[in-house]
Amino acid sequence: MKNMMIALMAGAMSLAAVQAMAAEKVTLQLKWVAQGQFGGYYVAKDKGFYEEEDLDVEIKPGGPDIAPEQVIAGGGADVVVTWMAAAMVAREKGVPLVNIAQPFQKSGLQLICPKDGPVKSEADFKGHTLGVWFFGNEYPFFAWMNKLGLSTEGGTDGVTVLKQSFDVQPLVQKQADCISVMTYNEYWQAIDAGFKPEDLTVFNYTEMGNDLLEDGLYVMEDKLKDPAFKETMVKFVRASMKGWKYAIDNPEEAAEIVLDNGGQDENHQKRMMGEVAKLIGDGSGVLKPELYERTTKALLDQKIITKEPQGAFTTEITDAAAKQ
């Protein structure tokens, strides 16, 4: 009997070892630091959704000195979260990224200006300083200015662009007349800094029809030629979107999970999760053709990219994820 128990235990341990070895490793590079913006991925890992798909997922936070496009080009990640404009520019420069899913179906980008300042409407932009993030985040702003026919080289007939830090200090210190914010992040930093909602003029990119696609999932084109990799990405996307749906339904728990993974400020993360939920849409992660076309047209019109992208996205992954 003793020998039988030992054999059964050894068999169980061997089976566990085989299962552990079978888990496919996937490295996800985020666009920014751990925060509610990426809550769905942290939830998917914490709740075991990746494990259910036999995936061992490493989530790497980003930061001001980390470009997801460079990380994946150098082999440091299997899949990255980035904005479509940045991915398109990288693709044209020789990093052939392909969008395999689009969790964020709406833009969270805004420009805010104090109501007691000189900018009340788009007609007031001329001759003023507008704060803009760079590192791939500037393209929606430049596309908008191009649409308005405004130069971004300064002067009385154009706008002066301030390379903005990732906070609201340029507005607090009056270095800019307006600054860029995300609905789920810096907007609330402005409120916490003492600005009241009624004291701000808000230009929302989505409401104005100037929104370009933001947080999407991208992989290298050549990797998709491997059927095994494609199947891994189907599992990854399915589990990730399950994580996003759970996060939307349970924002406070999702915020706690983000905090456990390095997120800062409990109240801010809870507020962020609530705002991010508004951008996820139907939770399918499916890339809508009309939004893809709007984004590429804006980039072409602004000459941010010089030719129509070919093969820059696929719906095969989300289509397969939805069937299982």
Q: Please report the pLDDT score of residue 17 as a whole number.
A: 47
Number of H helices, E strands in the chain: 14, 10
Cβ–Cβ under 8 Å, residues 273 and 39 = yes
Reduced DSSP (H G I as helix, E B as strand, rest coil) percent helix, strand, coil of the chain, to 5: 50, 15, 35
pTM above 0.85, yes or no: yes
Alpha-carbon distance 64 to 166, whole Å? 8
**What is the pLDDT at residue 114?**
96
Amino acid at residue number 49: F
305 phi and psi angles, rounded to 5 deg: -125, 155
Fold match between 24-105+213-323 and 109-208? yes
Look up residue 58 and give its amino acid.
E
Residue indicated by tokens 């983000």:
258
CATH of domain 109-208: 3.40.190.10
d(CA 192, CA 113): 15
Residue 224: strand, helix, or coil:
helix
Task: Please state which of the ranges 10-14, 67-71, 138-142 shows the lowest mean pLDDT.
Answer: 10-14
Sign, CA torsion 77/85/83/323: negative
The SS3 of residue 291 is helix
Q: Considering the chain, what percentage of its residues have pLDDT values greater than 90? A: 82
Long-range contact pairs involving 162-168 (C-beta distance under 8 Å, separation at least 24): 162/129, 162/130, 162/131, 162/132, 163/132, 163/133, 163/134, 164/131, 164/132, 164/133, 166/64, 166/133, 168/193
Q: What is the pLDDT of residue 64?
A: 84
2-49 tens-digit pLDDT: 555 555 555 555 544 444 457 899 999 999 999 999 999 999 999 999
Residue 258 — very low, low, confident or very high, per pLDDT cuts 50/70/90? very high
Q: Which of 64, 170, 159 has its CA nearest to residue 113?
A: 170
Q: Domain extents for the chain?
A: 24-105+213-323, 109-208
Amino acid at 10: A
3-state secondary structure of 1: coil
- Nearest Cα to Cα of residue 196 among 188, 186, 204: 188
Which CATH number is associated with domain 24-105+213-323? 3.40.190.10
For the ranges 14-23, 118-127, 204-213, 308-317, the lowest mean pLDDT is seen at 14-23
Percentage, residues of the chain above pLDDT 70: 93
pLDDT on residue 19 = 47
pLDDT at 263 over 80: yes
pLDDT at 12: 54
